[in-house]
Amino acid sequence: MFISVKVITSASVNQIIQQSKGEFLVKLITARERGKANRKLLDMLAEYFKVPKSAIMFVKGKYNSKKILNIKTEERK
């Protein structure tokens, strides 16, 4: 599953807001320095989607506030 994420760093709260199907706004308290914001983003998305962090991969925008990520989820029969 591919999702589009807009990240706002140095926010007052950690929060994930689904704007539409496959589009999310993520607010992070963490500052954008030395990959800290990306690590926090992966932690939050893994918890939100109930997948391990290793199941989430950056497709585009790793060093940008607008990102596209691929989340590998188990397909249930």
CATH code for the domain of 40: 3.30.1200.10
User: Does residue 22 form part of some domain?
Assistant: yes
Q: Strands 56-60 and 66-71: what pairing? A: antiparallel
Looking at residue 5, what DSSP letter applies? Answer: E
For the whole model, what pTM was predicted?
Answer: 0.86
Q: Provide the pLDDT for residue 35.
A: 87
C-alpha angle 50-54-57 in degrees, rounded to nearest 5 = 100
User: Does residue 31 form part of some domain?
Assistant: yes
Distance CA 8, CA 26 (A): 6
User: For residue range 21-56, what is the model confidence (pLDDT) as tens digits?
Assistant: 999 999 999 988 888 999 999 999 999 999 999 999
User: Does residue 77 form part of some domain?
Assistant: no
User: Does residue 76 form part of some domain?
Assistant: no
Closest CA to 5 of 33, 40, 54, 52: 40
Question: Per the structure, how many domains does the chain have?
Answer: 1
Q: Strands 15-20 and 23-27: what pairing? A: antiparallel
